[in-house]
Amino acid sequence: MKPQQIPLSEIAQALALSRTTVSRALSGKGRVNAETVRRVRQYLLESGSQAANRSGSLALILPVEHNTPADFWQLARAVGDEAAASGLPLVLLPDEGQALLHILQQSHIDGILLPSTLLPLAQQLNQKGMPCVLLGGPMQGQLPQVYFDQQAAAQELAEILLAKGAQRLVFVCSAPLQQVQTAWIGLQNGCRAADAAPPVYVPFPGRACDGLAPMFARMMCGQPDAVVCNDPDAARELLYHCRINDIAVPGQLRLACLQDSPFLADAVPSVTAVRCSAEQMGRQAVRQLLAGEQGQCLLPHQLILRGSTRL
């Protein structure tokens, strides 16, 4: 009689282990102590069953809706290195909605890391007993997540700009406002704490777009003296338009960004930015996934003051 196929999630629940740990114990990949291996094998022996198919690999989901940030590839490299150190291959998969969910179920991936912008997908995976960890963004409920405090970073940045004499702050954002709500709240809190006018939200239409020059002109009609961008692409384009419109940075306009990049560090002037280590985030996310930890891990951020805000 053929042994009954039993899902890894069921074995994990019975032995109070993570699904990934059970998979590693059965595949021999990665670091698992001998006692854990013995317990898993003994459970299968006593139940007269065998584990369902498994791949012994991790998946990192690549966001495709918006431009992929440069630091995502630093994060992916760190995830791959940490997974390899545990003896697990890494699979990169593009976000393709329900098709991706089907692929993940059929391929028996043992653990999934995905950007916090894909929260609905993470919730579906969690309901199906598939271990996952969210990467970056604001804290998303009770799902496992590695992130940094965007609200605190944005508030700190706003307070510094206002302390340097800025009075009219603009937030130029390439993502829908609901996706950057914590950063927006942080900027508002910073302005409120400094008893300054509230910030103004300006949507960024994207690079190589006919609407970019008109957007810049409309923004400058409000006579802002400080601009905070949500990503390096927006900061780079604004720096370029300041140059071709003879607007001195930081003399007439201070410029800062909520994400750092090599371009912002090397630009003239270099651009003030918030830095959170993508490598640290990637490695911590893999460790949390393999350990089966269910909480949130808050990483530190650093505000790098550069030439674009110095007067």
Mean pLDDT, consecutive 10-residue stretches, the chain (311 aa), reads 63 77 68 78 72 70 65 88 85 82 75 87 84 81 88 95 95 84 94 95 76 89 95 92 96 95 94 93 91 86 95 70
Residue 28 has what pLDDT?
62
Residue 55 has what pLDDT?
56
Residue 110 has what pLDDT?
77
Residue 74 has which token pair?
């630093």
Give all strands (DSSP E) within 118-222, no chain letters. Answer: 132-135, 145-148, 169-173, 200-203
- Using CA atoms, how far apart are residues 180 and 120, in angstroms rounded to an integer? 16
What pairing do the DSSP bridges indicate for beta strands 169-173 and 145-148? unpaired
What is the maximum alpha-carbon separation in the chain? 81
Domains of the chain are 4-51 (1.10.260), 58-148+278-300 (3.40.50.2300), 150-276+305-309 (3.40.50.2300)
Residue 268 has what pLDDT?
95
Number of H helices, E strands in the chain: 12, 14
Residue 102 has what pLDDT?
77
Is residue 204 within 8 Å of 168, Cβ to Cβ?
no
pTM over 0.85: no
- Using CA atoms, how far apart are residues 9 and 17, in angstroms rounded to an integer? 9
